[in-house]
Amino acid sequence: MRKLAVFLKPYAIFIAASLFFLVAQALAELNLPNLMAKMVDVGIKNGETPVIARLGATMLAVALVGGISSIMVSFFASRVAAGVTRDVRRAVFSSVIGFSSAETDSFSTASLITRTTNDVNQLLHLILMTLRMMCFAPVMGVGSLILAVRVCPSMSWILALAVGIVVAIIAGIFAVAMPKFRVVQKLVDRLNLVSREHLGGLMVIRAFGTEEFERGRFGKANADLTAVNLFVNRIITVMQPAMSFIMNGICLLIVWVGAREIAASRLLVGDMMAYIQYGMHVVMSFMIVSFLFIMIPRAAVSADRIAEVLGTEVSIANPARPESRDRSKRGLVEFRDVSFRYSGAEGDALRSISFTALPGQTTAFVGATGSGKSTLVNLIPRFYDATAGSVLVDGVDVRALSTGDLRSAIGFVPQKAGLMSGAVSTNLRYGNAGATDAEIGEAARVAQALDFIERLDGAFEAPVAGGGANLSGGQAQRLAIARALVKKPSIYIFDDSFSALDFKTDSALRKALRSYTSDATVLVVAQRIGTVMSADRIVVLDEGRVAGIGTHRELLDSCPLYREIAESQLTGEELA
């Protein structure tokens, strides 16, 4: 919670204003019972109409002040709560944007979404309740106790009894409910995870007919969350009837004891009515405080989860004094004895990788599934950092470059297209907002996407659903390729980006790419030998090691693994 207090500083004026009006509201509420007692004991008892009118007007003015103060408290509290939670969401999002793949892997996507939404909403409710009641409840409680004792000291034991019972109930509920709040947030994470997997894998679920199994998974996650929520809510629900019972019991006790005091001429009727009001204020104040005590632990859990994200140290950080890329080596990519191991893994995913990719050439990577091809190219834009050795871009170690400068030189096309919701043109300009219509049209033509784009309703202004859900796999891949081409970087990385293309489109795309990227360094990860056989250099990976480097023809003769892969995909005539 203390780590998030910094977000309150910009709203100090609003908080101060809220507290001022809270005190004004409390003082107004405290004066009303006293005025009512005077009206009953002086005005009505003696039949003095002017006194009644004067006291009534005063009560109306005090009530008006209290009402206006209440409105102002709500206004300022809402401003503070909305502003703080907006800033927290922005900070969490900024932190997540800066995460490397290692940090993202340590938090599930569902958990990050929950922390940005549900956990922040918990803070919103806490700030609202705190600012509305933080000063109001203590001032009302303490003030009512003092005024009640002044009215009739002999009945003070009634209020002491009420306070003791209320404190005991709050302590019991607090001890039982608090451990469950952290469980609730974890179960919300679990429910979000199951929901995301279900929605993201609907086609697979339907294809394998596992709807009932998925209903069971969701049902269990939902039932677990419901059970804990019901337990917590039942505990909290006990408070309302308990407090009502206490208030009504105190009211009856005050009337019973007060009647005797009135009969003994030690108490006036109006004072007894005021005492009842003060007693209700005391109980209500403790009830409000109890709600705050219940909200604080739950919000504290959420605050800790948010602070965990904000406090996560990013492993891929910009150097204190970043170097500049060597423009004379523009597009040059070098791996010098590079090894890499994923966090928590028992062995290296890459071992002693060395090669050089030159501008104007295409360097391809092939190998069996899990051989480390995608891992290798992910080291170039620093999605991960090598655990040993050096990766150099434009003659400089990527760890010595700022991530912005490094990634500005790279056009990356991932295995999954990763299109954003918006128009086709918006997606194509994602890496180059200033690209002209002619430039995005040319990139679409090279990526073999122009024909299907022009057939869309609206062409380049046609809508694209999030993730490219309204496009086929091949169409989404071609848009992702065109997006990278529009950026016009010095290095292109195609991470198995042609897998959804038919052979004819694949061939046409590679032919068009060769002339479009003639001055750039092109790195291609592929499963199909037909995609890479025309590359200038092919790097063959086997279980994280380099098994061979050369042209297609050279590797057929020198690398048994490459020949084995080629023979499994190509005919004898194609191999000849």
**H/E run at residue 510:** helix 503-516
The predicted structure's pLDDT at residue 571 = 67
Check residue 43 and report its DSSP letter.
I
| Token output for 243 | 């407090």
pLDDT grade, residue 348 (50/70/90)?
A: confident
For the stretch 85-94, contacts whose Cβ atoms lie closer than 8 Å and that sit 24 or more positions apart, written own/partner, are 85/120, 85/121, 85/123, 85/124, 85/127, 87/7, 87/10, 88/4, 88/7, 88/120, 88/123, 88/306, 89/116, 89/120, 91/7, 91/310, 92/116, 92/120, 92/306, 92/309, 92/310
Average the pLDDT over 294-305 and give the result. 76
Phi, psi of 519 (to 5 degrees): -100, -5
**Same fold for the domain at 2-310 and the one at 418-488?**
no
Q: Which amino acid is at 389?
A: G
Q: Which of 43-57, 235-249, 535-549 has the lowest mean pLDDT?
A: 43-57
List the one residue out of 421, 471, 466 whose CA is nearest residue 449: 471
pLDDT grade, residue 46 (50/70/90)?
A: low
Q: Is the confidence at residue 42, as pLDDT, over 70?
A: no
* Tokens 């991470």 -> residue: 495
Q: Which of 200-204, 258-262, 382-386 has the lowest mean pLDDT?
A: 200-204
Contact 26, 139 (CB under 8 A): yes
Average the pLDDT over 552-575 and give the result. 79
* Tokens 């401003």 -> residue: 79
Helix (H, G, I), strand (E, B) or coil at 493: strand
The predicted structure's pLDDT at residue 557 = 82
Higher local confidence (pLDDT), 332 or 178? 332
Q: Is the confidence at residue 335, as pLDDT, over 90?
A: yes
CA dist., res. 120 & res. 299, Å (int):
9
Phi, psi of 181 (to 5 degrees): -65, -40
pLDDT tens by residue, 120-139: 888 888 888 888 877 777 88
Average the pLDDT over 173-193 and give the result. 75
pLDDT grade, residue 44 (50/70/90)?
A: low
Q: Measured at the alpha carbon of residue 122, what is the angle toward residues 118 and 126, in degrees to the nearest 5?
A: 165
Level-2 CATH architecture, domain 2-310:
Up-down Bundle (1.20)
Domain ranges of the chain: 2-310, 418-488
Average the pLDDT over 96-107 and give the result. 75
CA dist., res. 142 & res. 30, Å (int):
10
Q: Which of 103-107, 135-139, 270-274, 349-353 has the lowest mean pLDDT?
A: 103-107
Check residue 255 and report its DSSP letter.
H
pLDDT tens by residue, 466-500: 777 777 778 888 888 888 888 888 899 988 887 77
Q: Is the confidence at residue 47, as pLDDT, over 60?
A: no
The predicted structure's pLDDT at residue 74 = 86
Helix (H, G, I), strand (E, B) or coil at 105: helix
Contact 330, 213 (CB under 8 A): no
pTM of the model: 0.69
Share of the chain above pLDDT 70, in %: 95
Contact 353, 375 (CB under 8 A): no
Distance, CA of 81 to chain centre:
18
pLDDT grade, residue 575 (50/70/90)?
A: low
Average pLDDT, the chain: 81
CA dist., res. 564 & res. 576, Å (int):
14
List the one residue out of 76, 95, 75, 74 whose CA is nearest residue 4: 95
Higher local confidence (pLDDT), 315 or 385? 385
List the one residue out of 144, 141, 162, 146 whose CA is nearest residue 254: 162
Phi, psi of 84 (to 5 degrees): -65, -45
CA dist., res. 133 & res. 130, Å (int):
5
The predicted structure's pLDDT at residue 301 = 75
The CATH superfamily assigned to 418-488 is P-loop containing nucleotide triphosphate hydrolases (3.40.50.300)
Average the pLDDT over 320-332 and give the result. 85
CA dist., res. 400 & res. 422, Å (int):
35
pLDDT grade, residue 244 (50/70/90)?
A: confident
For the stretch 319-325, contacts whose Cβ atoms lie closer than 8 Å and that sit 24 or more positions apart, written own/partner, are 319/399, 319/400, 319/401, 319/402, 322/400, 322/401, 322/402, 322/405, 323/396, 323/400, 323/401, 324/396, 324/405, 325/393, 325/394, 325/395, 325/396, 325/401, 325/405, 325/406, 325/409
Cα maximum dimension of the chain:
121
* Tokens 């500049």 -> residue: 324
pLDDT tens by residue, 502-550: 778 878 888 888 888 888 899 988 888 877 888 889 998 888 888 888 8
The predicted structure's pLDDT at residue 58 = 82
The string of DSSP letters for 369-387 reads: TTSSHHHHHHTTTTSS--S
Average the pLDDT over 275-283 and give the result. 80
| Token output for 284 | 């209500």
List the one residue out of 38, 30, 36, 28 whose CA is nearest residue 61: 28
Alpha-carbon torsion angle 405, 352, 334, 373, nearest 10: -70
Higher local confidence (pLDDT), 509 or 335? 335
Helix (H, G, I), strand (E, B) or coil at 412: strand
Q: Is the confidence at residue 457, as pLDDT, over 80?
A: yes
pLDDT grade, residue 103 (50/70/90)?
A: confident
